[in-house]
């Protein structure tokens, strides 16, 4: 998809960059802390295949938690919602994305939703394949189809960096395994999860995936259905209720569109029936959402009336 640089968008980007020094690049995954806090790029992909952009849209970043919406779509397509929601709930938590507390205090150890780490790990444990390699390839093939790019892959450095330091996520897995919520080998689940989080792309490719969800599952490049409408609808609903971690309520009020963020600084929005947005801005606020990305979306909301509410 060819993307036109857009001056108006660039001006909004320049404005949003002014708050870059108020955020902090993620460092708990060591490989992420190398990012430059001044980087900010954005692309908007329309359902008819048009696209506008600003900033360095060649710059790749890892999906991190944005991958959770993709694996959710995949397991919903493979198993149907009844099976999936037997292993993961539908309710927002109000807790940080990596919290373990609700696993212990809610009546079943089933994670409350697929957008928190516990829920995403449960989703990853359902991915089809005989071993980690096959499962990762299966996820990658789906992502390649979503953004219509056969070259998409994961960043080995970031995957290893997280795999070797991710003790909290291992604890979530072992807790859920102990409670009979997930089955299988925890190290294998961790390998698949850290590789799915390390899938690397630029903001144009992310905007195209956003446009697939915005357009009820239709790829804006090929006009083919790549996700059933019902699955796209469920994913967008989770993006509204839980996509921006424990700031999802505030985000719904201030911006009002389905969105999913990741600690790399990526944000994907799916503005229903209108367009997909891909943003990359590494400095994060204290909740773990891109600080410059959030500022940019506030400016979009003021200027283009994004909110669907
Ligand atoms: N890979 C990250 C983790 O599990 C993803 C978290 C995120 O982006 N919020 O900690």
Q: What is the CATH number of the domain that holds 183?
A: 1.10.1500.10
What tens digit of pLDDT does each residue of 36-54 get?
999 999 999 999 999 999 9
Q: Are residues 170 and 240 in the same domain?
A: no
In this predicted structure, the answer to whether residue 309 has a pLDDT above a threshold of 90 is yes
Supply the pLDDT for residue 245. 92
Q: Best mutation site among 163, 166, 197 for ligand 1, i.e. most ligand atoms within 8 A of its Cβ?
A: 197
Distance (Å, rounded) from C-alpha 281 to C-alpha 37?
7
User: What is the set of active-site residues?
Assistant: 65, 68, 193, 245, 263
Supply the pLDDT for residue 244. 96
Supply the pLDDT for residue 102. 84
Supply the pLDDT for residue 174. 96
Closest C-alpha to ligand 1, atom 2: 64
What tens digit of pLDDT does each residue of 52-96 get?
999 999 999 999 999 999 999 999 999 999 999 999 999 898 888
In this predicted structure, the answer to whether residue 108 has a pLDDT above a threshold of 90 is no
Q: Are residues 218 and 237 in the same domain?
A: yes
What tens digit of pLDDT does each residue of 233-274 get?
999 999 999 999 999 999 999 999 999 999 999 999 999 999
pLDDT above 70 covers a percentage of the chain that reads 100
Distance (Å, rounded) from C-alpha 238 to C-alpha 204?
22
Q: What is the CATH number of the domain that holds 214?
A: 3.40.710.10
- The reply to whether 309 falls in a domain is no
Q: Are residues 85 and 193 in the same domain?
A: yes
CA of 4 to the centre of ligand 1 (A): 32
Which domain-ending residue is among 197, 218, 244? Answer: 197
In this predicted structure, the answer to whether residue 182 has a pLDDT above a threshold of 90 is yes
Handedness of CA 218, 123, 33, 25 (dihedral sign): positive
Supply the pLDDT for residue 140. 98
What tens digit of pLDDT does each residue of 135-172 get?
999 999 999 999 999 999 999 999 999 999 999 999 99
- The reply to whether 79 falls in a domain is yes
Supply the pLDDT for residue 221. 93
Q: How many domains does the chain have?
A: 2
Supply the pLDDT for residue 99. 86
Q: Are residues 50 and 163 in the same domain?
A: no
Question: Which residues are near ligand 1 (CB < 6 Å)?
Answer: 64-65, 97-98, 117, 162, 169, 197, 262-263, 288
Are 170 and 190 contacting, i.e. CB atoms less than 8 angstroms apart? yes
CA of 262 to the centre of ligand 1 (A): 6
Which domain-ending residue is among 197, 216, 236? Answer: 197
Domain extent for 43 = 4-61+202-304
CA of 49 to the centre of ligand 1 (A): 30
């Amino acid at each position: 998809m060819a993307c036109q640089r857009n001056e108006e968008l660039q001006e909004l980007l320049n404005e949003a960059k002014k708050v870059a020094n108020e955020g902090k690049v993620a460092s708990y995954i060591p490989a992420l802390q190398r990012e430059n806090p001044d980087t900010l790029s954005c692309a908007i992909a329309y359902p008819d295949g048009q696209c506008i952009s600003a900033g360095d849209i060649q710059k790749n970043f890892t999906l991190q938690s944005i991958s959770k919406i993709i694996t959710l779509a995949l397991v919903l397509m493979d198993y149907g919602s009844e099976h999936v929601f037997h292993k993961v709930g539908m309710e927002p938590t109000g807790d940080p994305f990596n919290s373990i507390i609700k696993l212990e205090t809610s009546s079943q150890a089933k994670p409350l939703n697929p957008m928190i780490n516990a829920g995403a790990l449960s989703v990853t444990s359902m991915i089809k394949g005989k071993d980690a390699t096959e499962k990762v390839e299966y996820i990658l093939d789906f992502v390649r189809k979503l953004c219509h790019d056969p070259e998409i892959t994961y960043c080995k450095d970031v995957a290893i960096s997280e795999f070797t330091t991710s003790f909290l996520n291992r604890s979530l897995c072992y807790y859920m395994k102990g409670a009979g919520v997930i089955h299988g080998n925890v190290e294998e689940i961790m390998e698949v999860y850290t590789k799915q989080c390390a899938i690397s792309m630029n903001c144009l490719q992310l905007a195209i995936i956003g446009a697939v969800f915005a357009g009820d599952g239709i790829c804006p490049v090929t006009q083919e259905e790549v996700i059933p409408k019902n699955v796209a609808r469920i994913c967008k609903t989770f993006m509204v209720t839980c996509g921006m971690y424990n700031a999802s309520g505030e985000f719904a009020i201030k911006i009002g569109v389905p969105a999913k963020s990741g600690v790399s600084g990526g944000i994907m929005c799916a503005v229903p029936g209108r367009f997909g947005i891909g943003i990359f801005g590494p400095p994060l606020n204290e909740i773990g959402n891109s600080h410059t990305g959030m500022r940019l979306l506030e400016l979009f909301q003021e200027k283009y009336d994004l909110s669907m509410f």
